[in-house]
Amino acid sequence: MVLRAQYAQPFKAIYLFYSFCKLVAFNIPYWLLINAVPSNRPRSSWSLKKSLIVKAFHWMMGLMLRTGELQMMPDHNKVEPNSNGLWVNAAPEHLFDDGLRMWLSVAQVKPCNIPGYYYTRNSASSHANARKTVYHLHGGAYVIWSASPACTDAARIPKGYLTCTNTVASVFALEYRLSSFDGNGSFENPFPAALLDAFAGYLHLIEQGYSPHDIVISGDSAGAHLALALCRYLQQAARKGLAVPALPSKLILLSPWPDFGVSHQESYKSVKGTDYLRDHDFPQSAITAFLGPHPRSMLESPYISPASIAFFDEDHIGLFRDFPNTFIAVGTGERLLSSQRDLAKLMRRDMGDNKVVMYEAEDCVHDYCAFDWEEPKRSQTFAEIDSWLTGK
């Protein structure tokens, strides 16, 4: 979790009891009253149910900042039993470039074995055209959620590829290390820990005999940010002559979080009512945990803020050259929409218009593909991805 709980037991239990009593007695009735009339809702197309869910998500994120996660999730320390999981070997150091070595030294991060989980079709849902393997990196701001099937929200995306497409044969989801800090200068697993793990996961698939041509890298939210960083590392390491595998055939970015800096700060503020993402406390705490001991100037790196407005100048042309064909799916209700659109513009500048698809789901919130209450637009998005994968 991004922060250690601010309240230790028994005060944590007392605070939780107080918070949930207030939620039931005051917050929910107030939200019901305000959102009863469609014109008062953040988006007039939203149902009352969706309006309340988005409010509750926003409230819950604030609560977790004070209490820590409310549900214990699997992490990188063990493979969950009965979950089709396995251990992934640490990435070998001879494939590290000088930049990665420097970041590892600053962050005091070392390679380690991590879990991964396979999601596969059952025989009843198998399809003759299912040949692609999706390598998926889950969201959660680098501080929450899990690749394990036990994490219901995160697992909906791997399951969506299998139930809503005909081209995906299996999904491999990696349990990369999450970042945290205690507020007193002590960090765990800051950048580039997750990048190192994502690289190890890609090497694992190659070692298992999967061809880069048949691998599709996918990520949602922070996982999409990580997918971009992985592709950038494969691109840069190959240019430096390291014997890294080729880039995958395609890249899918679901509600990417593409700018950790301040270049899109004003647009983030302007659409606060239509998403559950909080103003500053949660994202800034997550960024602090992720950045760790690195200087704040690191936020302007293309590894960390690939959609920064600074990259529109001539000096940065070619930033995305050689990247895989990319499908970007976003909701028009997202607070990150401006930065996501700029990411698409930058990628099209370097790759060409025909290699980048930008799909916008009307009035959907951030990471909408992870939530069943965003149906039918969630399933419609996977159907669009399926058509894109097959070239239709």
221 is catalytic: yes
Beta-sheet pairing, 180-181 with 187-188 = antiparallel
pLDDT per residue rounded down to tens, the chain (392 residues): 444 555 566 778 888 899 999 999 999 999 999 999 999 999 999 999 999 999 999 999 888 877 777 778 899 999 999 999 999 999 999 999 999 999 999 999 999 999 999 999 876 555 656 789 999 999 999 999 999 999 999 999 999 999 999 999 999 999 999 999 887 778 999 999 999 999 999 999 999 999 999 999 999 999 999 999 999 999 999 999 999 999 999 999 999 999 999 888 777 777 777 899 987 667 888 999 999 999 999 999 999 999 999 999 999 999 999 999 999 999 999 999 999 999 999 999 999 999 999 999 999 999 999 999 999 999 999 999 999 999 86
Q: Exactly one of 148, 221, 285, 305 is catalytic; name it.
A: 221
Is residue 155 within 8 Å of residue 117, measured between CB atoms?
A: no
**Distant-in-sequence, close-in-space partners of 305: CB < 8 Å, separation ≥ 6:** 258, 259, 260, 261, 263, 299
> What span, in angstroms and rounded, lies between the C-alpha atoms of 242 and 215?
20
Return the pLDDT at 127.
Answer: 61
E strand residue ranges, the chain: 85-88, 114-120, 132-137, 168-174, 180-181, 187-188, 215-220, 250-254, 325-331, 356-361
Whether omega for the bond prior to residue 302 falls within 30 degrees of 0, making it cis, is no
**Distant-in-sequence, close-in-space partners of 209: CB < 8 Å, separation ≥ 6:** none
Return the pLDDT at 126.
Answer: 58
Domains in the chain and their CATH numbers? 11-67 (no CATH), 85-390 (3.40.50.1820)
Q: What is the DSSP string of 181-231?
A: E-SSS-EES-TTHHHHHHHHHHHHHHHTT--GGGEEEEEETHHHHHHHHHH
Q: 391: alpha, beta or left, given left = phi > 0 and alpha = psi -120 to 50?
A: left
Beta-sheet pairing, 250-254 with 215-220 = parallel
Classify 327 as helix, strand or coil.
strand
> What span, in angstroms and rounded, lies between the C-alpha atoms of 278 and 235?
34
Burial class of residue 83, CB neighbours in 10 A (0-12, 13-18, 19+) = middle
